[in-house]
Structure formats: structure tokens, C-alpha cells
Amino acid sequence: MTRIDDVARLAGVSTATVSRALRGLPTVSAATRRRVLAAAEQLDYAVSPSASRLAGGRTGTVAVVVPRITRWFFGTVVEAVEDVLQQAGYDLLLYNLGGREQVRQRVLGTANLHKRVDAVMLVATPLRPADLTALTKLRLPGVTISSGTVVPDWPCVRIDDVGVARTATRHLLDLGHRRIAHISGDPHDELAYTTHLDRRRGYREALRDAGIDPDPGLDVESQFTISGGTRATEELLRRGDPPTAIFAACDEMAMGAMTALRDAGLRVPQDVSVIGVDDHDLAGVLGLSTIAQSAAEQGRLAARILLDPLHGGARPSSGGPCLDTPGAPVILPTRLIVRESTAAPRAH
Amino acid sequence: MTRIDDVARLAGVSTATVSRALRGLPTVSAATRRRVLAAAEQLDYAVSPSASRLAGGRTGTVAVVVPRITRWFFGTVVEAVEDVLQQAGYDLLLYNLGGREQVRQRVLGTANLHKRVDAVMLVATPLRPADLTALTKLRLPGVTISSGTVVPDWPCVRIDDVGVARTATRHLLDLGHRRIAHISGDPHDELAYTTHLDRRRGYREALRDAGIDPDPGLDVESQFTISGGTRATEELLRRGDPPTAIFAACDEMAMGAMTALRDAGLRVPQDVSVIGVDDHDLAGVLGLSTIAQSAAEQGRLAARILLDPLHGGARPSSGGPCLDTPGAPVILPTRLIVRESTAAPRAH
DNA sequence: CTGAAAGCGCTTACAG
DNA sequence: CTGAAAGCGCTTACAG
């Protein structure tokens, strides 16, 4: 392969000048730059990332850590992030935790990341105190999406999970429901996702505001997946005296709930109303009412926030929306979408 | 950060020995290895990938190129691939083409990949003749999944797309359908995905075998997405004299079709039967009949095939299943799953 | 605006 | 089994 010396020789300049010209540094005359670019083009030259990184001390790489790339929210976030990084010339190193504890250790626990990437994006990834300490010691820039754990000095892009849950629950209350169940993630998990906790809190607050005491028998914990929603709903039905409505903590759980209800001979929404959170690609297909959030927008925004300081730009302080309070999370909007899965309960 | 010299000093050996010990090379005495590992551990040492790559000439990185990470098949493939690569200590560099032509150029057209990765995995990514030439010149090892374009010397993992389409169509024929529509990808696209073409071919073959002449009016081209399926079905209905069954080239299109049918006041399967291909996570929820394929298995197998030669292992020749003919694609099995979306047409 | 030279932190023949 | 030394291909002060 052609090296920088080849380009330098052909262009009649030093390798230092080639390096500067190719990176678009301002300290190169227009004429020289033209010659260098032409030479590089002619030789089909591409810089060696390894050499460039070793010499320059920057990796041009961002680590993106997600729980499961196959879930709607994470796939959509990664697609948006990849787009922004790609345009900025950054490589995207994908870490899919997939519930594998050893992977979490390898990714977060060592100096692994430090020498491998310039910055880290943690998507809905909760950290143990020990992980957090290790990560903080690396002094890497980073950003979090959808909380998980708050990392000091890292911006956070998210939605108002408590508010989302309140809106969903209130929608069911407004329709006349009183026995409203909630299916969500497992708070007993050692690494509790704050998303689950916040949505449960909003659900309870909305009930209390309506004068209803939350019934623990209507609150089932499971996983944030389709089958998790199915299992939670089956459990709910097993307990007898079924609810007239279910608020699922995400659309995938809501879809699982719809399956379980159908299999149990119950109709949606005639027998049981169902509402989720996300506005998943298939929510429309299934006629699922939901609280919509834009995963793509969260990914895009987080990627831009991450890249900005890397390019020497100041961290956005007052220009952008919602960034007025440095250190405060950037909260993106959500909205209720009413489809066919929610209706008034049948009169008894 | 600690460097290799620090470890060498603490262990009382040379940096060469540290390098060998840490990589598990056999030419290190057990006692020395123990000392080196202890020192590295104590100093929380992690090798610098940039330096290691530059000196060693290997990147420890695999590029994975997918059309759209948000589609079920690709997300599932990537998750499986990431698992195998992670375990083998490889980094996964994600390229999500997303239909952006400039990205395709940047990824494939230059020497970009050559210095950046040890190997390439192309998932359902068709190549222009010029791209193929450029890629071949790089002499990088690689593997393809789900065809796209056959790259010389690269193994290919896939399913029998023609057979899949024949099975789906025959299922509808067996139920008594005669007016069977097909919705699929756009063959006029400059970069035609062979998947589309093969599935269309199997559809036509099955019809002809049953003595039916394929009706071009029942064959609509669109995109491999939910909304693509919706649009294709709307077009189909606009043409009048609707079919009694639709074979969609993938489950996402089938789901879009179900939406369009519902919105048009048609019931599935009473008015129109629908069958797809994939066994998407939500196929069960929607009661969608389909031809199941394992995206995860394809990803896992392709990743293993790719890694094997990189570790000095010979390319699997006779041991594995379906690998008896070197150069021939590895064909993974598929199977018909009948759910509620397909039934006999109503008697007229 | 440009170049000579040092140095980034490893791995790899080579020699022993 | 181990070490001294060269070299991987760039970028970066430094000097001009």
C-alpha cells in the first residue's frame, strides 16, 4: 500500500506537509494543498488509522454501548448515532451488552476503553458503583441516553419518564378506567434501570392524583421485551379479577400483552385496554395507543453533543434548546397517540 | 497511562517478553508469564490498540456492513455477530449504509477498509462492478450473508430464497388460492438485491408449476419495510379485482400489507390471506404465517467462518455441515410456520 | 507557509 | 526461553 512518503515524493513536499494538507489544516498554501490532494488521489492513498492514532493520540472512534441492539429503541438510536458519527468521520465501535455480565466487565471495568476510543455513549446502561468509579477515573468524555446511571460531567439526553407514565395512566383514567394494571421491568434486578422505576412512579402518582390507591396485585414485573410482556400479562390474569386496562412500560411489552390477552380470549380494547410507550414501528400496525418518543432524535442529539467538544467546540451552553442549565439533562418531548387499543371500559 | 515498559520494569523482564506473555504466546516460561500477568494486573495495564496494530500489522477489527440496522433481519444478525467477535476479542466496526450512496462510496470505494480492518462482513449488500473490483483488489478476507453480490473467494452464508418463495406460494396454492399477489423489492433499482429477485422467481415458478400464468398486475414492487408493504398493498387494491392472497417478500412487508388491508376494510384471512418470510419477533403477535429463517444462526456461522482463517485455522472444508463443496454457499434451513393469517379463500 | 527530526507504544525477526 | 534493536506510518513541536 501507498504510504505518506509516496505522496510526499510525488507532490514534492515533506510528509509533515502532506499530513497537514490532508487534514485540512489552515497552515498550508492553496497551491501546495492542491498538489498534495492530487498526488494522494492519484496514488489512491488512505491514511493508516493505526499510525495516525498512535502519533496523534486520538482514535477517531466512539464506543456506543447498548443493552440490546435488537430492541426497537436501541436499534433506532444506533442508526441515528451512526449517521452523525459517519458524517463527522468517526468510527462507531458497537458494544451490545446482551445481558452478559462478563462483557460488561470487559467493556467498562478495565482500561480497555481508554486507549480504544475518544468518547463513550452509554445508552440506558446502568452502572455499578465500582464501574462508575472506574469509568470516572478514565476521564473520558461521554454522554448518556435514557439515563441508566448519571455519570458526573457527562451530558444526558432523555425523556421525562415520570411524565410519560403519568400521561399514559391519565389517558386510561380519563376513559373511565379504575382498575389499571402496570407491567414493567424488574426493580429487584441488581442493575435497576431507572427508566423502569420512573415509569412505575409516574403510574402510581397518576393513580393517587385520581384518588386511587395503587394495588400491588396489579403491578407485575418482567422484562422489557415482547415475551416479557406476554409473561407479565399471563401472571396478571392468573391472579384473577383482571384489570380493565394495562399500561405497559414500553410498546414491546404492550405487544406481548396483546398476544397474551388474545390467547386468553379477551378482546382489546373491549375487554381490556392497552397502552405502551415508544411509538414502535409496528404500533400503528397493531393499532396500539402509546406515548411517542423519538429514539432517532435522542441519538442524533446525543451524538452531536458528544462530538462538539472533541472538535474544540465549546460544550453548548445557552444556544440550544433545553441546554440552559449546564449539567441538567436534555429532555426531549413526547406525545400521546390514541389508536384502537384504548377505549372506555364496558359498563358493568 | 501505564505503558508496556512499566510492566516490564515491574516484572523484571524486557518489553518483548511482556508482549509475548500477555498475548499467550507459547514461548514464555510459566514462571515468567505469571510474573508478567501479575505486574500487568497490578498496574491495571491495557495494551494500546493503536500501537499494537501499527507494530503488528493486524487491527483486531472486523467491519460489518448492513443496509439498515433497524430492520429485523439485520439487527438480529449484528447481535449474533457481535457476540462471536466479542468473545474472540475482536472489535466490531459498524457501517449502516441506510441507502446513503456517499456512505457506500466511502466504505467500499477507497483504501479506507484496507488499513482499518482485518476482515469484512457484507450483509445483503449488493456491489457495483466498480465496487467489486476495488474490494477484490484489497485482498481482504471477507464473508457475505444473504448474498447481495458474490465476492470471489469469500464464503457466503444464506438461505434458499427461491425455495422459500416456492414454499410460501405453494402453501397458498394448497389452501385453494389462485389469485396470489406478490409484493417485493424494486428490481429496477440499480443495485438490485438478489434476495428480491430470487423470491420473485420462486413465486413465479410455484405458480407455473400449478398451471397458473403469473399476472404482472398482481406483482407490485416497493421497499422491504413496513411502509413499503403498506404502499404496495394500497397500489394492489387500487388496481381493482383484488387477490385472495398475498405473498410478501419479508415479514415487515407482510405487516404493512395487513395494515393496508385492515384500513381498506378487508379482513385477514377471511378476505385476503397473507404470508411473509422471516419469522420476525412480532409475527407471532400478529398471527402472521411465514417461512422462518434464523438470522442469528446466519450471523453466528458467518462470524465463525470469518474468524477461523484469521487465527491461522484452515478454512473449514469437510467438517462442518453444508461446507462440503468449497466455494459453494452455506445454505441454512427454513420452515413454514402456519398461523392465523392464511386460510382457504371463501367460496364464491 | 514548510521541513527535519523526534517520538507515539507496541511487535518482530534476529541472535543467543 | 529471553533480550536488544529496528521498525510499523504517521503527527507534532520546533526552527526557520
Who contacts B265 (Cβ-Cβ below 8 Å, separation ≥6)? none
pLDDT value of residue A331: 94
d(CA B299, CA B305) in angstroms, rounded, equals: 10
DSSP A251-313: HHHHHHHHHHHHHTT--TTTT-EEEEEE--TTHHHHT-EEEE--HHHHHHHHHHHHHHHHTTP
Summarize the confidence of residues B11-22 as an average pLDDT.
95
| Burial degree of B321 (CB within 10 A; 0-12, 13-18, 19+) | exposed
**What pLDDT, on the 0 to 100 scale, is given for residue B10?**
94
User: Of A145-149, A276-280, A296-300, B25-29, where does mean pLDDT reach its minimum?
Assistant: A145-149
The pLDDT score that the predictor gives to residue A95 is 92
Contact B327, B317 (CB under 8 A): no
All domains of chain A in start order, with CATH: 4-55 (1.10.260.40), 61-159+295-317 (3.40.50.2300), 161-292 (3.40.50.2300)
- Whether the predicted pLDDT of A319 surpasses 50: no
Is the minimum distance from the CB of A25 to strand C below 7 Å? Answer: no
Tell me, what's the pLDDT at B343?
97
Provide the CA B212 to C1' C5 distance, Å, integer. 79
Q: How far is A82 from chain B (nearest CA, A)?
A: 7
Would you state the pLDDT for residue B104? 73
Percent of chain A scoring above 70 in pLDDT: 92
pLDDT at residue B132 in the model: 85
Is the pLDDT reported for residue B320 higher than 70?
no
Angle between helices B30-43 and B15-22 (to 10 degrees): 90
The yes-or-no verdict on residue A199 having pLDDT over 80 is yes
Do B112 and A46 lie within an 8 Å CB cutoff? Answer: yes
Alpha helices per DSSP H over chain B:
4-11, 15-22, 30-43, 49-56, 72-87, 101-108, 112-116, 129-138, 161-174, 194-209, 226-238, 251-263, 283-286, 295-310
Task: Give me the pLDDT at residue A104, please.
Answer: 73
Least confident of A5-9, A40-44, A185-189, B299-303: A185-189
For the segment A23-34, what is each residue's pLDDT rounded down to a tens digit? 999 889 999 999
Closest nucleotide (CA of A56 to C1')? Answer: D11
Chain B residues within an 8 Å CB radius of A88: none
Residue-wise pLDDT tens digits, A167-192: 999 999 999 999 999 999 875 565 55
Is the CB of residue A35 inside 7 Å of nucleic acid strand C?
A: no
Predicted pLDDT of residue A115: 85
Q: pLDDT tens digits, residue range A214-271?
A: 999 999 999 889 999 999 999 999 998 899 999 999 999 999 999 999 999 999 999 9
The count of C-alpha atoms lying within 13 angstroms of the C-alpha of A345, restricted to the half-sphere facing its C-beta, is: 17
Nucleotide nearest to A6 (CA to C1'): D9
B55 is near strand D: CB distance < 7 Å? yes
Angle between helices B101-108 and B129-138 (to 10 degrees): 30
How far CA A283 is from CA of A134, A290, A332, B111, in Å, comes to: 40, 8, 20, 42
pLDDT level of residue B318 (50, 70, 90 thresholds)? very low
Measured CA to CA, the distance from residue B191 to residue B105 in angstroms comes to 13
Main-chain phi, psi angles of B246, to 5 degrees: -125, 130
Contacts of A263 in chain B (CB under 8 A): none
Question: In angstroms, rounded to a whole number, what is the distance separating the alpha carbons of residues A54 and A138?
Answer: 18
How many Å apart are B16 CA and C12 C1'? 9
CA of A286 to nearest chain B CA: how many angstroms apart?
Answer: 8
Q: Check residues B314 and B108 and name the one with the higher pLDDT.
A: B108
B286–A286 CB contact, under 8 Å? yes
pLDDT attached to residue A322: 43
pTM summary value: 0.91
Give the mean pLDDT of chain A.
89
How far away is chain A from the Cα of B247, in angstroms, using its nearest Cα? 18
Split at pLDDT 50, 70, 90, the class of B112 is confident
Examine the pLDDT at A314 and tell me if it is beyond 50. no
Residues in A closer than 8 angstroms to B91, CB to CB, are 93, 116
Q: Do residue A286 and residue B285 have CB atoms under 8 angstroms apart?
A: yes
Q: Give the separation between CA A91 and CA A79, rounded to whole angstroms.
A: 13
Q: What is the DSSP letter of B57?
A: S
- Give the model's confidence band at A76: pLDDT under 50 very low, under 70 low, under 90 confident, else very high: very high
| Residue B28 CB lies within 7 Å of the nucleic strand D | yes
Question: Which distant-in-sequence residues (6+ apart) come within 8 Å of A149 by Cβ?
Answer: A122, A125, A126, A127, A132, A194
A20: Cβ under 7 Å from strand D?
yes
- The closest of B214, B123, B126 to B165, measured between CA atoms, is B214
| Integer Cα distance of A18 and A6 in angstroms | 10
* Strand nucleotide closest to residue A54 (CA to C1'): C8
Between CA B90 and C1' D2 the distance (Å) reads: 29
Phi, psi of B344 (to 5 degrees): -65, 145
More confident residue, B267 or A106: B267
Distance, CA of A292 to CA of A50 (rounded, Å)? 42
CB spacing of B115 vs A48 below 8 angstroms = yes
What CA dihedral angle connects B235, B237, B243 and B249, to 10 degrees? 30
Predicted local distance difference test score (pLDDT) of residue B312: 52
Nearest CB partner across the interface for B86, out of A103, A115, A286: A103
Give yes or no for CB of A17 within 7 Å of strand C.
Answer: yes
CA of A61 to C1' of C6 (A): 26
Chain D bases having any atom below 7 Å from a protein CB: 1-5, 7-13
Rounded to whole angstroms, the distance from the CA of residue A24 to the C1' of nucleotide D16 is 22
How many Å apart are A28 CA and C2 C1'? 8
**Smallest Cα–Cα separation from B246: which of B340, B149, B169, B166?**
B169
B310 touches strand C (CB under 7 A): no
Q: Write out pLDDT tens, residues B55-91.
A: 999 999 999 999 899 999 999 999 999 999 998 989 9
Flag whether pLDDT at A116 surpasses 80.
yes
Chain A interface test: which of B94, B95, B261, B286 (most A C-beta within 10 Å): B94
Give chain B's largest Cα–Cα span: 90
- Residue A66 CB contacts under 8 Å (≥ 6 apart), including other chains: A74, A77, A78, A94, A95, A96, A97, A123, A124, A125
Q: Provide the shortest C-alpha distance from residue A103 to chain B (in Å).
A: 8
Q: What is the mean pLDDT of residues B254-262?
A: 95
User: How far is residue B105's CA from residue B198's CA, in Å, rounded to a whole number?
Assistant: 26
With helix as H, strand as E and coil as C, how does B100-144 read?
CHHHHHHHHCCCHHHHHCCEEEEEEECCCHHHHHHHHHHCCCEEE
Contact (CB, 8 A) for B243 and B236? yes
Which region among A118-122, A168-172, A296-300, B325-329 has the lowest average model confidence (pLDDT)? B325-329
Q: B6 CA, C11 C1': separation in Å?
A: 17
pLDDT exceeds 80 at position A141? yes
Phi, psi of A19 (to 5 degrees): -55, -45
Average pLDDT over residues A140-169: 91
Question: Grid cell 414485573 — which residue?
Answer: A221
Residue A289, Cα to own-chain centre: how many angstroms?
22
Compute the nearest-CA separation of A252 from chain B (Å). Answer: 9
pLDDT for B192 beyond 70: no
Of B231, B226, B256, which is closest to residue B72 (Cα–Cα)?
B226
C-beta of residue A201 within 8 angstroms of C-beta of residue A249: no
Determine, for residues B79 and A86 on separate chains, whether the beta-carbon distance falls below 8 Å.
no
